[in-house]
Amino acid sequence: MRLNGPWLFRTFLYPVLVLVVPAPCSGCGDTLGPRQLLGYCPGCWDSIQPDRYNPHHPYQCAATRYAGLARTVLLEAKFRDRPELFRPMGLRMAAACRTAGLDRGFELVAAVPSHPLTLFRRGYNPARELARVVAGDLGLPLAGRALRRKVLHMAPLKKASREDRRLAARSAFTARHGAFQGKRVLLIDDVLTTGSTFRGCRSALLDAGASAVRLLVWGRTPAASSGGRWPERHL
Ligand SMILES: [Zn+2]
């Protein structure tokens, strides 16, 4: 979590300020009411399309279809320094998890780690911010930084084959043995695209002794909808 001036302003002062000074909705421009502290009016939040739980993909769950305002909200939170948006997003993810019946049986929540250099530049990991809200809402502990992205891991070249990309994603992550031993892990990320990041993290977690890993994301891209089933060791 970054602790600079803009972050402190948006997180603590902005919510107080808009109680006094009416602010426009970031989505439609309507004036926000005094209790609508999060930059979007209820109408805009409601316009975000939920993702339909797909029983053919039982190991992943998305709160939204990654398009329109669902995409805008994430991009604002990630790249325009709007960390206050992670809370309503995380609460929607927890609700989607309950709706899909995936909230039972987990013992630990973990976040897909950012690359250390990205974390250094941005100051926070969006997946971890979402994971903190989800863990709090589901009443589960949040894993520390025991799941890591390797610093010196080379990203696959643009022309790399599908298989090379899959192998690269598999070796990009490492999980500390002991932290996940015997645990059913709910893994959190912001967007699901090809699923290669999830499979990489999942391999690392299973290698570290996790008994099951499932994925909960804010948004699922159309590319993710055609992915295959991923077998679990147990669950
Ligand atoms: Zn609006």
Pair 41, 55 in one domain: no
Pair 67, 24 in one domain: no
Residue partners of 32: CB distance under 8 A and separation at least 6: 18, 22, 23, 24, 25, 39, 41
Residue-number span of the structural domain to which 190 is assigned: 49-226
Residue partners of 86: CB distance under 8 A and separation at least 6: 77, 126, 129, 130, 132, 133
Pair 33, 71 in one domain: no
Pair 40, 57 in one domain: no
Pair 110, 168 in one domain: yes
- What is the token pair recorded at 205? 């977690």
- Between CA 145 and CA 148 the distance in angstroms is 7
Q: Report, as an integer, the average pLDDT of 173-196.
A: 90
- Report residue 234's pLDDT band, with 50, 70 and 90 as the boundaries: very low
Ligand 1 centroid to 90 CA: how many Å? 19
Q: Specify the pLDDT at position 143.
A: 92
Q: Specify the pLDDT at position 86.
A: 92
Helix (H) or strand (E) holding 173: strand 173-175
Q: Are 46 and 28 in contact (CB under 8 A)?
A: no
Pair 56, 152 in one domain: yes
Give the chain's end-to-end CA distance (angstroms, integer).
Answer: 33
Ligand 1 centroid to 9 CA: how many Å? 22
Which residue, 74, 117, 54, is CA-closest to 218? Answer: 74
State pTM to two decimals: 0.81
Ligand 1 centroid to 219 CA: how many Å? 20
**Within-domain flag for 7:** no
Pair 37, 128 in one domain: no
Pair 43, 53 in one domain: no
**Within-domain flag for 106:** yes
Q: Specify the pLDDT at position 50.
A: 83
Pair 43, 74 in one domain: no
Q: Specify the pLDDT at position 36.
A: 59
Ligand 1 centroid to 24 CA: how many Å? 8
In this structure, are strands 147-149 and 173-175 parallel, antiparallel, or unpaired? antiparallel
Ligand 1 centroid to 75 CA: how many Å? 17
Residue partners of 73: CB distance under 8 A and separation at least 6: 40, 48, 85, 89
- Between CA 152 and CA 30 the distance in angstroms is 47
